Structure 1
Amino acid sequence: MLTTSILSFLGNLRANNTREWFDLHRLEYQEAYGDMLGLTSDLLREISCFDNAIEASGLDPESCIMRLHRDVRFSKDKSPYKTNFFVFISPGGRKSPFGGYYVHIGPEGESFAGGGVYMPEPAVLARLREEIDGHFSEWSSIVSSEVFLIAFPEGVLPSGMLKRPPKGYGTTSPAIEYLKYKGYYTRRFLSDAEVTSSGFVPRLVALFRTVKPMVDFLNRSAV
């Protein structure tokens, strides 16, 4: 169970994003990271009950948590740390090309959870488009179902959009709007009260169960 201390740490890090401040509060970071490890372990156990691919992967919780340190080499923003924790659970861990399930923990209502594939490599994206175009009725039935839209009112979101159809696809394809997407993911925002409640893990698991058919569809052609 996450506590308000993890949100306080992230909020304070946002206001004091320097190595000097971080070093002075390293114990708070270690406690927060420990809480995230516990959450990830719980999620891996629960997801393995309904997703055989995750169960077979034997993932280490640490392999699913993104680093807090930012790569600032090519960024104008030289802040050394991210101000959120991000967990991505998919076959192969956080660097896998597969779609999966994720939870983003941030202060002041910035937490959210969902699933899918965000900004895949061009070759993977090409195969995802082929799968959606070739099986659009199945895709549509998944992402337009009532249970899906109740869980994710925004529907399927794109991680970027093309202005025109990708090469090889005509404008008459019924899937054309989805084919312009550069990624396919869902998102449900979560309040601070939800994040720190005793029912947080079951809440996440319910969302992940709902998005699983979409994740399975995408993963048929992810590699």
Structure 2
Amino acid sequence: MKEAFKFLKHLKENNNREWFASHKLEYDLIMKENKTFFDQIYSELQKHDSLQGIHIFRIYRDVRFSKDKSPYKSYLGAGYSRAKPMLRGGYYIQLEPNNSFVGGGFWGPSTADLLRIRKEFEIDTTAIKKITSNPTFVKYFGELKGEDGVKTAPKGFDKNHPAINLIKKKQFVLMRKFTDSEVLSDDFQKEVMATFLAMRPFFDYMSEVLTTDLNGEPLF
């Protein structure tokens, strides 16, 4: 991991095609090493959950619709999706100097899923509040994160609802940041797994919500 961080720091300072081309062999070796790490996480996580797949993200940026025309990302990342339709959500890990984190949840739920989640929170927030106030949850993630979809209230919802701060969200994300020294420590893989496993009560609850109707009847 030390070599990967060293490479990523240099890449951030020299984010151009000429520099990258001259260091392509170094990049290939780093990707091979980190693919092994991401695959090990996948194998370990599969022992505790049912995964649909792993996606190791390319370092090449899509700059077509971005003001930032830097051709390369300054981080390495991998996502692990849970087996749909019964299991929902996904795990994510990002390795970047001074900005590494382990995350999970729902970055972009479908329109139907988002409405179902909001309706659940409109009816009852007892379960989600119990999960997010659990000491283990607070220790690893602090709070439930994610961008709000609207400023006041989604269409059809009361802006004065007691759970409006949850209902407004369009993302439901858990995140734990790591310092560079933590990433480079011998315990990092163990801590990644502990973090992913701490997400399970949240995932189990959300999966139940998204696979039942408002009466609790199974959809699948």
Tell me how far apart the structure 2 counterparts of residues 131 and 68 of structure 1 sit (CA, whole Å): 38
* 2:94 aligned with 1:68: no
Would the alpha carbon gap of residues 26 and 131 (structure 1) be closer, same or farther in structure 2, given more than 3 Å must change? farther
State whether residues 119 and 159 of structure 1, in contact with CA within 8 Å, keep that contact through their aligned partners in structure 2.
no
Tell me how far apart the structure 2 counterparts of residues 144 and 174 of structure 1 sit (CA, whole Å): 17
Tell me how far apart the structure 2 counterparts of residues 37 and 174 of structure 1 sit (CA, whole Å): 45
Tell me how far apart the structure 1 counterparts of residues 168 and 44 of structure 2 sit (CA, whole Å): 34
Match of 1:192 among 177, 180, 186: 180
Would the alpha carbon gap of residues 132 and 32 (structure 1) be closer, same or farther in structure 2, given more than 3 Å must change? farther
The Cα of 1:219 is off from its aligned counterpart by: 3.3
Normalized against structure 2, the TM-score is what? 0.86
Match of 1:27 among 25, 28, 41: 25
Return 5+ residue gaps in structure 1 as ranges: none
User: Based on CA coordinates, which of the two structures has the bigger radius of gyration?
Assistant: 2
Match of 2:6 among 5, 8, 17: 8
Alignment match, 1:46: 44
Tell me how far apart the structure 2 counterparts of residues 130 and 137 of structure 1 sit (CA, whole Å): 13
User: What are the within-5 Å matches in structure 2 for residues 174-189 of structure 1?
Assistant: 174-189=162-177
The Cα of 1:39 is off from its aligned counterpart by: 1.5
Match of 1:146 among 135, 139, 152: 135
State whether residues 113 and 187 of structure 1, in contact with CA within 8 Å, keep that contact through their aligned partners in structure 2.
yes
Q: Which amino acid aligns with 1:47?
A: L
Would the alpha carbon gap of residues 104 and 197 (structure 1) be closer, same or farther in structure 2, given more than 3 Å must change? same
How far does the alpha carbon of each residue in 1:156-199 deviate from its partner, in whole angstroms, 9 at most, with x for none?
11134421111122234332211111101111110111112221
Would the alpha carbon gap of residues 32 and 124 (structure 1) be closer, same or farther in structure 2, given more than 3 Å must change? farther
Higher RCO (Cα < 8 Å, 6 or more apart): 1
The Cα of 1:27 is off from its aligned counterpart by: 1.4
State whether residues 118 and 159 of structure 1, in contact with CA within 8 Å, keep that contact through their aligned partners in structure 2.
no
Q: Which runs of 4+ in 1 moved over 4 A?
A: none
3-state SS of 2:68 partner: coil
Tell me how far apart the structure 1 counterparts of residues 9 and 88 of structure 2 sit (CA, whole Å): 31
Structure in which a larger fraction of residues adopt strand: 2
Tell me how far apart the structure 2 counterparts of residues 129 and 35 of structure 1 sit (CA, whole Å): 41
Match of 1:214 among 168, 192, 202: 202
Alignment match, 2:215: none
Alignment match, 1:130: 119
Alignment match, 1:165: 153
The Cα of 1:114 is off from its aligned counterpart by: 2.1
Match of 1:78 among 60, 66, 69: 69
The count of aligned residue pairs is 209
Alpha carbon RMSD of aligned pairs, Å? 2.1
State whether residues 116 and 218 of structure 1, in contact with CA within 8 Å, keep that contact through their aligned partners in structure 2.
no
Tell me how far apart the structure 1 counterparts of residues 79 and 73 of structure 2 sit (CA, whole Å): 15
The percent of aligned pairs where both chains have the same amino acid is: 33
Match of 1:102 among 92, 105, 112: 92
The Cα of 1:135 is off from its aligned counterpart by: 4.3
Alignment match, 1:203: 191
State whether residues 68 and 82 of structure 1, in contact with CA within 8 Å, keep that contact through their aligned partners in structure 2.
yes
Alignment match, 1:88: 79
The Cα of 1:130 is off from its aligned counterpart by: 2.5
Normalized against structure 1, the TM-score is what? 0.85
